[in-house]
Every structure is written in structure tokens, then in C-alpha cells.
Structure 1
Amino acid sequence: MSRLPFYLIVALLLVAGIGLSIHRHVQFEVPWTPGEQRQVWEIEAQVNFLADGGPAKVEMALPSTQQGFRVLTEHTASPGYGLSFLEENGSRRALWSIRDATGNQQLYYSSRIQVAPQARASETPPPSPKPDVVWERPYDTAASQVIDRAWSRSADPFTFTRELIREFSEQRQGENARLLLTQFDRVPLVVRLLNQAGIAAREVSGLMLEDGRRRQSLTPWIQVYDGDEQSLFNPTTGEQGRPENLLLWENAGKSVLEVQGGTNSQVYFSMLSRNQPAGAAVRSRMAEASDTILNFSIHSLPLEEQALFQTILLIPIGALVVVLLRVLVGIKTSGTFMPVLIALAFIQTTLATGLIGFLLVVAVGLVIRNYLSYLNLLLVARVTAVIITVIAIISLFSVLSYRIGLNAGLTITFFPMIILSWTIERMSILWEEEGPKEVLIQGGGSLLTAVLAYLAMNNPWIRHITFNFLGVQLILMALILMLGNYTGYRLLELRRFKPVTED
């Protein structure tokens, strides 16, 4: 029979599991390791203006997710004002309105913005250049000469922008540049000259992020387009590229703040930098993408169910340990997957308390089960009696440990009582049929397997991977299928061939 379908299934499971895991890491930025931190900026904008005593409208630009930054949450404080959020062509704005406002007014906007290197900006269409810019005399001649001088020293829109900005620097500032600066501000002037040269450009406003700063203002930058490429320029130095700590607050070339029905409007910014666990940011991203088909995530469940699945998803890890030890090593256990359930109990009780409790319950249970064998009871009645006995033993040990001040003994109730009862029953029958040696071999193998499964399942990295990357379950399935195809010798069986090697 061809094994090709089997290998295709294994390969499909591996590819699907690895693909889903990589997708969650790249698309939702789920970290590979636990305990990772993400830098988050808490930014507050305070708008102040003097109302005229009638209706007032305040419109302010808002930050949006962009390269290197992602907006997590945002809040406003504006008592008595109506508020709406506007979005057009990738630009976001907040609109406050009120029917009657008098005197000094203060509006607050706060947002939490995560530093996310994988974040990408929303599509903002480039501006249309306006080569037919109209100048008054003698500024038209000065503008043409400045453009010609910078054009001759450049090779593309970006180098032209750099040379044009340098024409207005103190080191290279000529008469034409000084004449233009007497009539126009530097940034709108450079944008106007770029448009006259047929280059798409606009003025944008950015916030330089510095921890603990208060009453900061936005700084102007020049955004230049060269086909599908774009770049930011410092209008003072001509340096190309966006600094890492620059957050573009307004990226559509519009005004940052517009106030109707008021005067003396100003906006100031305060900021703080904090670190938060990566899981908090992941939950926020999952909430945003809850309607996508590939967002098959435990994070979308209520917290109670999440805690339950965090333990359930560890069972395949314990099962893989059992398969490895039984198929490759050859360790004998009492029951196939009983060690996995005991390992789950160890997670709740801690390893030392769990080992002591397991040995005490099984030892006392075997003594009582030995007495029950003389009563010649039917199997169902005998097992039921063992179950009641195990419950009584666990209750007695819990009460005694609490009375003597050992609160850790109370966790013994996490042991699966039915599984313990069947373990005691099987070991008792094995004692009668094979002797105490076989009981020690299988009991010791079960305990060793349970301890190794506990160490694997309780590893912080494994707990993080299994909970956050469901594709790992497909990878585990593929590994177990491959182990199930193994027909070679077990490691413990090699001692049978030791005399052959000696000869």
C-alpha cells in the first residue's frame, strides 16, 4: 500500500500549522516568546480658545496608524460639546460643536499609541502639483531663479527638494531667497516652489516624542512624492527621512486646528512613555480584526473560557511526551494517558506537593484495595468502593494538612479521582498477576512520564506558544502521526542485544 497519502497529510499539517503561526506573528504581531514588552506613548492634546458667546465648532486633526506607530485607544473630555470623528482619504479629524459657549474653553483629547515597527500607514493620496503658481512682481523672478539654481544641482524630486531647502539656509542664502523669505514663511514657500517645479509635495505636522514633555507644539515637515515613493524632509536642515520619534499628527496637508465662533485658539501636547505587556496590544488587535476568517483566536472568547483553554491546549504537549517515551524509549505506564492527567494535577498543586499527595493516595489506596480483594466483590462494586475510598483519603489528607497548617495539602483535591481509582485497581490486579516488580516498573514509569510531561507543559514558553498560536496543534498532530509510523526498536530494548555486541 502506498504511503504517499500519509506523507501528504503530514506535510499538509506541517505547512498549515507553520503558516498559521507565522501569519499570526506577522499580521497580529503576536510575540514568539512570553514576557515581551511594547513601548506605548500616552499623549494628551489640550485645545484652548476664547469663545465669542454663540455657537462654536472646533475641528482638530487626529493621528492615525502609520509606519512605526499604531493607535490603540483614544478618549476625549469635552463637557457639553457634541463630538464626531471624521475620516477621509486616510486623514482623521475630531469635530466638537456646541450651541452656546462663552469665555475660555478647554477641550481634551488623549490617545495611547504603540510603537509598532510592523505597522503600516493607511493610504493617503498624494497631492496634485500646481505648476501654474501665480507670483507677484518681483517675487516671480526670484522664485524662478531659486528653482533654476536648485534644479541644476539635482537629479530627481528628492535631491531637488534637498537642494531647494539648502537655498534658504544661512550658509547659501542669496538675495532671491532673502527676498522671498521677507514675504512668505519658509515651509509654505518651499511647498509652493516644489509645486511650481511640478513636484507633488505638501506640508504635514508632526509631534516629536520625548518622555515627560509638557506643553509641546507640532513641528512642520515637508512630504515629497516621487511616483509611488514618498519621503519626509526637515524644512530647516534639508535632512531626508523621518526620525524614529516623530509621530505624524496631520498627514493630509490640512490645518491642525480650526475654530469657528472663537479666537486665540491654541493646542498643546503632553506625553509619557510606558511599557506594557505585548499581550495587551495583541488583545486590542484581535478586537479590531475579530471579523476576519484567519483570526481564529482564543483571545476572542470570554476570559473564563480563555483560562480553561489555556490548560486544555497543553494536553497535546503532554500527549506528545507520552508518545515519545512509550514509542521511542519504551517506558511502560499504568494506562496510556494517565500520566498526562496526573501532570495536569501537578500544574495545579506544584510538583513537590503533587508527588507527595499522589504517592500517599496510591499507597493507602493499594492497602485498602488489597483488603477488598478478599471480599470477592464484583468488578463494578469493587471499583466503586475504590472510588469512595479515594475520595475519603483525599478528604482526610486535606483536613489533616489544614489542621497542621499545611495549606498546600488542600490542592490535593485537584487530582482526578476516577483516574486515581482505576490506577489503584489496575496496579492491584497487576500485583496479583505479575508481582510487585512489575507494579514498580509501571508505577515508576507512570510517575516519571507524568513529571516529564509536567515540566514540558508548565514551561512558560510552551504555555505561551500553545495558547497564542493554534497552528501549533496541527504541528503536534503531524509529529504524532510520524511517531505513530515508527516501527523500529525502542531504546530500552537495546539491552537485549548487548550480548551480541560483546561477542
Structure 2
Amino acid sequence: MSRLPFYLIVGLLMALGIGTSLHRHIQMEVPWTPGEQRQVWEVEAIVDFTAVGDPVRVELALPSHQRGYRILTENTASPGYGLSFLQDETGRRAQWSIRRATGSQQLYYSVRMQVTDDRRQRQIARPALREVSWERPYDTAAAQVIERAWARSADPYTFTRELIRDFDAERQGENARLLLTQFDRTPLLVRLLNQAGVHAREVSGLVLEDGRRRQTLTSWIMVFADEENWALFNPRTADQGQPENLLLWETGGRAVLEVQGGTNSRVTFSMLSRSQPAAAAVRSQLVDDTLLNFSIHSLPLEEQALFQTILLIPIGALVVVFLRILVGIKTSGTFMPVLIALAFIQTTLPTGLIGFLLIVSVGLVIRNYLSYLNLLLVARVSAVIITVIAIISIFSVLSYRVGLNAGLTITFFPMIILAWTIERMSILWEEEGPKEVLIQGGGSLITAVLAYLAMNNPWIRHITFNFLGVQLIIMALILLLGNYTGYRLLELRRFKPVTED
């Protein structure tokens, strides 16, 4: 029979598992290792204005996901105001409204932005060229400034740099000084660029500095080389490119703040930088959950904690399959060591080992007495279950009385599994003798300890919980191990005399 379908299934599982894991790491920046920190900026915008007793409507431009920053959470505080979040081709805006307000008013907006390694340029629609008209003598001055910069440039970006430098104090000519007496610097540069046929607009950004209060937005010039590519220019220094600490707040060419029904309006910003675990930042991105980004993080915390343990079981199963098929260790029950390893995670390894040995030892003694009663199987196993419960209860009370609170954790042992383990070992003792009991019991304990060490590893716990594609990889590995038909490592000792001869 052809093994091609089998290997195709294994390859498909591997590809899906690796692909989904890489997607979560690259797209959502889920870290491979636990304990990684991410820088998060908390920015608060305060809108102040004086209401005159009429209906009030306030619109504030809002930031969006952009190069180097991703929004985690947003909050507002506006008692008595209605609030809506609007979005169009110019960007996102918050709109507050109230039927009547009088006196000093304050509206609050706060956002938490995570610093990311994503340096891809965001797609922004290229603005149309605006018709520019000047009064005399500004038309002549503008034409001469454009002509001078155009002669020393080769493309829209170099033309923008030369144009800005012509307004510096060192290179500023009479034409530039004349224009600056009538127009503000940044809107003037945008008008000159549009007149020269360069698509450009004025945008607003916030320079992030830790612990700063009452900061205002700064103006920047966005210049488009074509419909897709653009660059940011500092209108004061002609520096090209977006600084690392610049958060673009408004990129649609509209006013940052619009207030109807109020006067003396302004918006100021306060900011604070802090670090937080990368996993916590990932949990804040629930709005981005998609089919490819499927994760346990969308569940309530209680269910998340439950799944964090459940997702470790395949790791224990992989350890059991490896030890039984390749190494040849015998265990009492196929996957009983996995359940014992789960109990070790709850009890800690030393307490779990002592509790397991005590319960099984006492249970075997009592089970040996029950064998003389000639009970049926169901009744005998039921009696063993009740015995195991009694043993755990007695050990818990005694450990608490002597001040060993760690002994209370033995209640996490799976009682049904322990009862069947005692029953199997007792039958094995009667049929095969104590040696086989020690071999299978010791093998079960060794397997449980190794499974515990694998399942309790912080890196493995992090990977299995945050990358569900790992489950497909584990399944593929188990399928490959299940296809193995060679000798086990412990069987090789049978051939030792042959090698000696």
C-alpha cells in the first residue's frame, strides 16, 4: 500500500502548523519566548473650550494603526455628551455632541499605543492638486522661489528639500522673506508645492517624549512621489523621513479640532511611556481576531486558564509516545503518566512524588486484602476508589495538622486513574510478580516526571498557549512516530552478547 497519502497528511499538518505560527509572530508580533517586554505609550488628549449656551458639536482627529505603532485600547471621558467614532477617507474622528452647554468645558480622549517593529508604510490616498492664486506682488515672489528650487532638484522629494531650505535663515532671499510676512511657513510651503505640480498636504504629528504634559501637535509636510509612495518632511529643517518618536495624529488634511457652539478651543496632550509584557499587549488586540489569528485570548480569563492546562496534554502525549515507541519504557496504562504529570504541575514535583508513592503503596496493601474477599471487578474497583479518596482525605488532614500545607495539594491527583493504577498493579503482582510491578510502576513514574518537566517548561507553556498551530505540528510528529517499526532502544541490550562474540 502506498504511503504517499500518509506523508502528504503529515506534510500538510506541518505546513499548516508552521504557517499559522509564523503568521501570528510576524503579523501580530506574538513573541516566541515568555517574558518579552513591549514599550507602550499612553497618550491623553484634553479638549478645552468655552460653551456659549448653544448646541455643541466637537470633532477631534484620532490616530490610527501606522508605521511603528499599533492601537491597543481607547477611552473617553465626556459626562453628559453623546459620543460617536466616525471614519471616512480622511481618517478617524471622535464626535461629541450635547444639546446645551454653558461655561468652561473639558473633554478627554486617551489611547494606548504599542511600539511595534512593523516599518511598512501605510497607504494614504494622494491629495488632488489645489488651484493656487496669489495677489500682487506675492505671485511674482512665489514664481521666482519655485523656479530657483526647481533648477536645483530632480524629483518631488529633492524639490521639496530645496524649497524648504530656501526659507532657512541662511539661504532666505527677499522673495522668501516677502512671502513669510503674509503666510505661515507650513501652509505656504504646501501652496508652493501644489503650484509646482507636486502633490502634498500638511499633516499633524505628536512628538512622543516620556512624562511631557500640555504638549501640542507639530506640523509636517507629506509629499507624494506617485499614487502609492510618499515621504514626510520637517518644514523647519528639511529632514526627510518620519522620526521614530513621531506619532502621526491627523493625515487627512482636515483640522485637528473643530468646535461648533464654543469659543477659545484648544487641544493639549500628555504622554507617558511604560513597558508591559508582550503577552498582555497581545490580549489587548481582540479586535484583530480573524480566522488566521484564531486564539484563546478571546475567551474569558477563567476559560483561558483552563485551556492553558489542556493545551499541554499533547506535549505529554508526545513524550509518552516517544518513550514507549522509541525507548521502550513500559508504563502502567498508556496515558496514565500524562494525568499524573498534570497533577505534578498543581502539586509541585517533590510533593507530587511523595503523595503518589504514599497513595499507591497504601492502596496496594488494602487492595491485597480485598483480593481475599473474592469480589466482582466492578465492586472491587469501586471499593478501591473509595479507599483512594479516604487515603487522600487522611493525608490532607494529617499534613494540615502538622503544618505541611503543601500536602493539601494531593487532592489534585485523578482519583479514578489512581484507583485503576492500583488495581492493575495488584493484578500484575499476582500474575507476573513484584519485579514486573516495579518495572511498570517505575516506568510510569519516570515517564510522568519527564512529561512534567516538558509540560511545566515556561517556554513550552508560552508556545502552546499563544500558537495553536503547534498542536498540528505535534500531531504530525506523533503520526511519524506511530509509523516507526524498528527496534526500541531498551531492546538493543538483547543483542549485546552478539556484539561481544
TM-score by structure 1 length? 0.96
1:269 is paired with a residue whose SS is: strand
Structure 1 CA distance, aligned partners of 2:87 and 2:260?
Answer: 20
- State the partner residue of 1:325: 323
User: Could you tell me how far 1:381 is from its partner in structure 2?
Assistant: 2.2
- State the partner residue of 1:111: 111
1:48 is paired with a residue whose SS is: strand
Give the conservation status (yes or no) of the 8 Å contact 1:75–1:111: yes
- State the partner residue of 2:357: 359
Q: 1:392-441: CA deviations, max 9, x gaps?
A: 11111111111111111111111111111111111112222222221111
Structure 1 CA distance, aligned partners of 2:90 and 2:305?
Answer: 38
Structure 2 CA distance, aligned partners of 1:371 and 1:213?
Answer: 77
What code does the residue aligned with 2:321 have? V
What code does the residue aligned with 1:239 have? D
Pairing 1:65–2:65 present: yes
Structure 2 CA distance, aligned partners of 1:99 and 1:119?
Answer: 44
User: Could you tell me how far 1:331 is from its partner in structure 2?
Assistant: 0.9
User: Could you tell me how far 1:352 is from its partner in structure 2?
Assistant: 0.5
User: Could you tell me how far 1:268 is from its partner in structure 2?
Assistant: 1.0
User: Could you tell me how far 1:122 is from its partner in structure 2?
Assistant: 6.0
Pairing 1:492–2:480 present: no
Between 467-476 and 443-452, report the one with greater CA deviation.
467-476
Structure 1 CA distance, aligned partners of 2:67 and 2:280?
Answer: 20
Alignment of 1:256-271 (within 5 A): 256-271=256-271
User: Could you tell me how far 1:387 is from its partner in structure 2?
Assistant: 1.6
- State the partner residue of 2:390: 392
Unpaired segments of 5 or more residues in structure 2?
Answer: none
Structure 2 CA distance, aligned partners of 1:103 and 1:364?
Answer: 80
User: Could you tell me how far 1:262 is from its partner in structure 2?
Assistant: 2.6
User: Could you tell me how far 1:264 is from its partner in structure 2?
Assistant: 2.1
2:471 is paired with a residue whose SS is: helix
Structure 1 CA distance, aligned partners of 2:128 and 2:110?
Answer: 33
Give the conservation status (yes or no) of the 8 Å contact 1:74–1:109: yes
Compared CA separation, residues 356 and 91, structure 1 to 2 (3 A): same
- State the partner residue of 2:407: 409
User: Could you tell me how far 1:123 is from its partner in structure 2?
Assistant: 4.3
- State the partner residue of 2:368: 370
User: Could you tell me how far 1:484 is from its partner in structure 2?
Assistant: 0.8
- State the partner residue of 2:444: 446
Structure 2 CA distance, aligned partners of 1:337 and 1:161?
Answer: 70
Structure 2 CA distance, aligned partners of 1:92 and 1:79?
Answer: 22
User: Could you tell me how far 1:277 is from its partner in structure 2?
Assistant: 2.2
Compared CA separation, residues 107 and 317, structure 1 to 2 (3 A): same
Between 132-141 and 469-478, report the one with greater CA deviation.
132-141
- State the partner residue of 1:246: 246
What code does the residue aligned with 1:279 have? A
Structure 2 CA distance, aligned partners of 1:300 and 1:187?
Answer: 45
User: Could you tell me how far 1:3 is from its partner in structure 2?
Assistant: 0.9
Pairing 1:197–2:196 present: yes
User: Could you tell me how far 1:121 is from its partner in structure 2?
Assistant: 7.0
Give the conservation status (yes or no) of the 8 Å contact 1:90–1:122: no
User: Could you tell me how far 1:358 is from its partner in structure 2?
Assistant: 0.3
What code does the residue aligned with 2:475 have? M
- Which of 301, 304, 312 lines up with 2:302 in the alignment? 304
User: Could you tell me how far 1:314 is from its partner in structure 2?
Assistant: 0.8
Structure 1 CA distance, aligned partners of 2:499 and 2:59?
Answer: 87
Alignment of 1:330-345 (within 5 A): 330-345=328-343
Compared CA separation, residues 418 and 53, structure 1 to 2 (3 A): closer
What code does the residue aligned with 1:48 have? D
Structure 1 CA distance, aligned partners of 2:217 and 2:470?
Answer: 46
State percent identity of aligned pairs. 80
Structure 2 CA distance, aligned partners of 1:27 and 1:158?
Answer: 31
User: Could you tell me how far 1:90 is from its partner in structure 2?
Assistant: 4.7
- State the partner residue of 2:277: 277
User: Could you tell me how far 1:78 is from its partner in structure 2?
Assistant: 2.2
Give the conservation status (yes or no) of the 8 Å contact 1:69–1:119: no
Structure 1 CA distance, aligned partners of 2:482 and 2:270?
Answer: 61
Give the conservation status (yes or no) of the 8 Å contact 2:90–2:253: no
What code does the residue aligned with 1:407 have? N
Structure 2 CA distance, aligned partners of 1:357 and 1:483?
Answer: 33
1:171 is paired with a residue whose SS is: coil
Structure 2 CA distance, aligned partners of 1:94 and 1:433?
Answer: 78
Pairing 1:137–2:166 present: no
1:333 is paired with a residue whose SS is: coil
Q: CA RMSD in A?
A: 1.6
- State the partner residue of 2:154: 155
Compared CA separation, residues 406 and 119, structure 1 to 2 (3 A): farther
TM-score by structure 2 length? 0.96
- State the partner residue of 1:30: 30
Structure 1 CA distance, aligned partners of 2:356 and 2:133?
Answer: 90
What code does the residue aligned with 2:292 have? L
1:321 is paired with a residue whose SS is: helix
What code does the residue aligned with 2:87 have? E
Unpaired segments of 5 or more residues in structure 1?
Answer: none
Compared CA separation, residues 418 and 52, structure 1 to 2 (3 A): closer
User: Could you tell me how far 1:39 is from its partner in structure 2?
Assistant: 1.6
- State the partner residue of 1:347: 345
What code does the residue aligned with 1:62 have? L
